[in-house]
Chains A and B, each alone.
Chain A
Amino acid sequence: MKKLIWFLSGLGCLVAAGGAQASPEDDRRSVVQAVQEKYPNIKVEDYVYGALAFSPDAKAQYDAVMTFPPYEAEIDKGARMWNTPFKSGKRYADCFPRAGKDVAGNYPMFDNAAKKVVTFEMAINRCRTDNGEAPYKHSDMNTMGLLTAYARTLSDGMKMNIKVEGKDALAAYEAGKRLFHQRRGQLNFSCAGCHINYVGSVLRTEYLSMAPGQATHWPAFRGGDYTLFTLQRRYAACHQMVRLVPLEIGGEEYNNLEYYHSYLSNGLPLKASVFRK
């Protein structure tokens, strides 16, 4: 009998320890389920449209804009940058598998040697420095912004495929998760509060989009003047709106946030350089 009690209590400890930290896949399923419970009529594959999924009118306007995107000349600038050879004679396409096609969905990835998250922008800068060029600032929309506005379109249709393998990768993922779920700024908001708890509610005049799917469509051209926003620039703008001094675009905190945030979109197709209000 004593042995049975010891066995059961040991089993209980194991179960408790296992439940203490959910796996990334458990996290993703749980967040998707939270949205599904609230909006059972919205298909998961439509989460990539974000707030547009709540408004057929807004979606119709989006479709009209996307027929002939007024910002196409900006993407062409990025294409020219992508195709211009470095001083070394090589091009960006030489730095990536499949010449850069269907790669962006693998980023952010965790570099076990460097023990840090590597974003697509960091990989582009690595390509530049390996070829004797100066790195771009991640926050510079006229260089990194335009370049990724084209480079990410090469992965349109690819399904997000973020991997969290090993304890260092998991630590970075957990750091990003914490930032996503933690209240910040004078308005005391968290990313999760708006995009999980209050998803679909109207804040001022806009629907709050769902967290899964959000990472699939960047950079985006936003508003009436089609201002270019990378995902991390959007993080900074969100933080500014809740009255938090934004963190560094391209810094470790936002990279970890992007790692967690992108994982939530795993399995959903990418579509870069879209229009958003």
Chain B
Amino acid sequence: MKLVKGVARVLGGGIVLLGIVGSGAQAAGDEAGAALTPEASWALSNAEAAVALAQSNGVLWTTAAAALAQAQEAAKKQDSVAVIAHAATASEQASLGMGQLAYPLMGRY
């Protein structure tokens, strides 16, 4: 029983230690140019698809295009946090542009 408790303590400590070291390594990696996080990669590809759809429908806002360019620029610097923020703006504004297609038409016609 003592052996079991001891192994558990060692394993638990190791996991905590690995967590600490791992998160530190991740932060250092982000600063030093490690790969994008999966969330950032997903957000970027999602934004690229949303912007491409809006562009093909002729409803792409300049602000959405600019946000995507910023996200792509941040991706080159492996800045996952910035990628996620800019990609979210691009995706949201691209979908708002698409939404305009369903608005009622203006003026007499």
On whether the two chains bind one another, the answer is: yes
CA distance A244 to B63 in the complex (A): 8
Q: How near does chain A come to B47, taking the closest CB pair, in angstroms?
A: 15
Report A-chain residues with C-beta under 8 Å of the C-beta of B58.
Answer: 179, 184, 247, 253
- Given known A-B contacts A182-B100, A188-B100, A245-B61, A193 and B93 have beta carbons under 8 A apart: no
Q: Give A183 to B101 CA distance when docked, in angstroms.
A: 8
Binary contact readout B72-102 vs A (1 if CB under 8 angstroms, 0 otherwise): 0000000000000000000001001100110
Closest chain A residue to B54, Cβ basis: A245
B residues near A126, Cβ cutoff 8 Å: none
Given A245-B62, A245-B65: A196 and B107 interface contact (C-beta under 8 Å): yes
Tell whether B1 is near chain A: CB-to-CB under 8 Å: no
| Residues A8-63 near B (CB distance < 8 A) | 22, 27, 30-31, 33-34
Min CB gap A171→B, angstroms: 15
With both beta carbons as reference points, the residue of chain B lying nearest to A189 in the complex is identified as B106
With A243-B61, A244-B62: A181-B100 Cβ-Cβ less than 8 Å: no
Which residue from chain B places its CB closest to the CB of A190 in the assembled complex?
B106
A247 to B109 alpha-carbon distance, docked (Å)? 23
Nearest chain-A residue to B62 (Cβ)?
A243
Interface size class of A (residues with CB under 8 A): 20 to 34
**Alpha-carbon distance A37/B31, docked complex (angstroms):** 64
Across-interface contacts of A177 in B (CB, < 8 A): 109
Minimum Cβ distance to chain B for residue A232 (Å): 14
CB distance from B60 to the nearest CB of A (A): 4
Give the residues in chain B near A247, CB-CB below 8 Å: 58
B35 CB-CB contact with A under 8 Å? no
- Inside 8 A of A34's CB, which chain B residues have their CB? 107-108
A220 nearest CB across to chain B (Å): 23
B55 within 8 A of A: yes
Cβ 8 A contact of B61, one of A186, A192, A193? A186
Interface residues of A in 177-213 (CB under 8 A from B): 177-186, 188, 190, 192-193, 196-197
> A30 to B106, Cβ gap below 8 A?
no
Give the complex CA separation of A243 and B105 in angstroms.
19
- A142 contacts the other chain (CB 8 A): no
Among B59, B96, B108, the residue within 8 A (CB) of A196 is B108
A22-B109 in contact (CB<8A): yes
Instruction: Report B72 CB to chain A, min CB distance, Å.
Output: 16
Given contacts A27-B109, A192-B109, contact A183 B61 (CB under 8 A): no
Which residues on the A side are within 8 Å of B63 (C-beta)?
Answer: 186, 243
- Cα(A190)–Cα(B108), bound, Å: 12
Bound CA span A185–B93, Å: 10
Q: Mark B5-27, 1 if CB is under 8 A from A, else 0.
A: 00000000000000000000000
Set of chain A residues within 8 Å of B62, measured between Cβ atoms: 185-186, 240, 243-245
Task: Give the residues in chain A near B97, CB-CB below 8 Å.
Answer: 184-185, 244
Q: Which residues of B contact A245 (CB under 8 A)?
A: 55, 60-62, 65
Per the bound structure, the CA–CA distance linking A193 and B109 in Å amounts to: 12
Q: Chain A residues near B96: list those with CB within 8 A.
A: 186
A-B contact pairs, 17 of them (CB 8 A): A31-B107, A31-B109, A179-B58, A182-B101, A184-B58, A184-B100, A185-B62, A185-B97, A186-B96, A192-B106, A192-B109, A197-B107, A243-B61, A243-B63, A244-B59, A245-B62, A245-B65
The 5 closest A-B pairs by CB, nearest first: A192-B107, A196-B107, A181-B105, A245-B60, A190-B106
Known: A184-B58, A197-B106. 11 other contacts (CB 8 A): A27-B109, A30-B109, A31-B108, A34-B108, A179-B58, A182-B100, A182-B105, A184-B59, A192-B109, A193-B106, A245-B65
